[in-house]
């Protein structure tokens, strides 16, 4: 639950996504993850790997009524802190609760065969890039709260909300590959509160859009949406 699982992909795609401003089908969505979360290249949509992924996603989700989401799909939304998330505090959380697997420089650990990660990198050249969903603080904090350290769950979380936000601030302040996202969110008024790249419809800084505090931005948005 809340591990960004596939349960509601089949029932909700194709759909109009504000990030691209386009109607996206499942192959487009899958390739988004290859290009952003995996910082790689998209698959040929007629390849057997893409067909297998679509089959899998269809099989997982085919009992879900069209248009409806299962509870626990996607990523948990944490309440906002009343302060900016703090990378220095987050570093202490990281050292205590994350570093044993993801390593001191966020580089993760490969498996014994050296062909896949046992513990994925969280920053550096092999990590997700700046166009990935996890580069948004709310996604990283919500994912961490309900899944990390490995063994934690929504029912049995280990991190407090504050620790989750702060460790997310630490991780997302580290270097990572950059993604050319100038075409993202063509309607800037639809940018999520924590999308960290301007221009914005409001006057809050990129820094505040990245780390918070988010409540003022949220209030502004509510006042300016029709
Ligand atoms: C005991 C080992 C362990 C510890 C400790 C741990 N993780 Fe993880 N982490 C994992 C494993 C294994 C995965 C891959 C999970 C999967 O693929 O389902 C993972 C995946 C992740 C991911 C997803 C990365 C990606 O690109 O897909 C994030 C983010 C993450 N961990 C954050 C954290 C944070 C933050 C902490 C500390 C609060 C933490 N982890 C502590 C083992 C660990």
Question: What pLDDT is stored for residue 225 in this prediction?
Answer: 84
- Write down the pLDDT at residue 92: 98
Q: Mutate which of 4, 106, 130, 150 to test ligand 1's pocket (most atoms within 8 Å of Cβ)? A: 150
Query: What integer pLDDT is reported at residue 195 of this predicted model?
Result: 97
Average pLDDT over residues 3-32: 95
Distance 186 CA to ligand 1 centre (A): 32
Tell me the mean pLDDT in the region 4-24: 95
How far, in Å, is the centroid of ligand 1 from the Cα of 67? 30
Work out the average pLDDT over 188-199: 96
Confidence of residue 226 (pLDDT cuts 50, 70, 90): low
Instruction: Name all residues whose Cβ lies below 6 A of ligand 1.
Output: 97-98, 100-102, 119-120, 122, 128, 134, 140, 143-144, 148-150, 159, 167
pLDDT of residue 160 exceeding 90, the answer is yes
Quote the distance between the C-alpha of residue 170 and its chain's center: 15
Confidence of residue 30 (pLDDT cuts 50, 70, 90): very high
Report the residue among 75, 76, 119, 126 best suited for mutation to probe ligand 1: largest number of ligand atoms under 8 A from its CB: 119
Q: What is the CA radius of gyration of the chain?
A: 18
Give the pLDDT band of residue 222 (cuts 50, 70, 90).
Answer: very high
List Cβ neighbours of 128 (8 Å cut-off, separation of 6 or more). 36, 37, 38, 39, 134, 135, 176
- Read off the pLDDT of residues 98-135 as tens digits, 9 standing for 90 and up: 999 999 999 999 999 999 999 999 999 999 999 999 99
Per-residue pLDDT at 41: 97
Percent of the chain with pLDDT over 70: 100
Which residues are within 8 A (CB) of 165 and not within 5 positions of it... i.e. 6 or more apart? Answer: 78, 81, 85, 90, 137, 141, 212
Q: How far apart are CA 153 and CA 171, in angstroms?
A: 20
pLDDT at 205 over 70: yes
């Amino acid at each position: 639950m809340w591990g960004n699982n596939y349960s509601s992909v089949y029932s909700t795609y194709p759909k109009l996504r504000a990030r691209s401003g386009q109607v996206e089908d499942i192959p487009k969505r899958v390739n988004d993850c290859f290009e952003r979360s995996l910082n790689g290249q998209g698959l040929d949509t007629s390849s057997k790997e893409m067909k297998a992924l679509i089959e899998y996603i269809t099989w997982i989700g085919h009992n879900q009524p069209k248009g409806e989401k299962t509870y626990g799909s996607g990523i948990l939304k944490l309440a906002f802190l009343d302060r900016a998330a703090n990378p220095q505090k987050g570093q202490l959380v990281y050292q205590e609760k994350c570093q044993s697997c993801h390593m001191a420089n966020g580089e993760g650990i490969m498996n014994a065969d050296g062909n896949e990660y046992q513990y994925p990198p969280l920053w550096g050249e092999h990590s997700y890039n700046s166009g990935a969903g996890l580069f948004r603080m709310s996604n990283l904090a919500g994912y961490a709260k309900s899944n990390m350290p490995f063994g934690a769950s929504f029912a049995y979380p280990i991190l407090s909300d504050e620790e989750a936000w702060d460790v997310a601030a630490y991780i997302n302040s580290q270097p990572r590959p950059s993604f050319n996202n100038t075409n993202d969110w063509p309607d800037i008024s639809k940018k999520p509160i924590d999308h960290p790249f301007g221009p914005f419809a409001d006057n809050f800084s990129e820094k505040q859009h990245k780390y918070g505090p988010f409540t003022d931005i949220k209030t502004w948005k509510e006042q300016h949406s029709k």
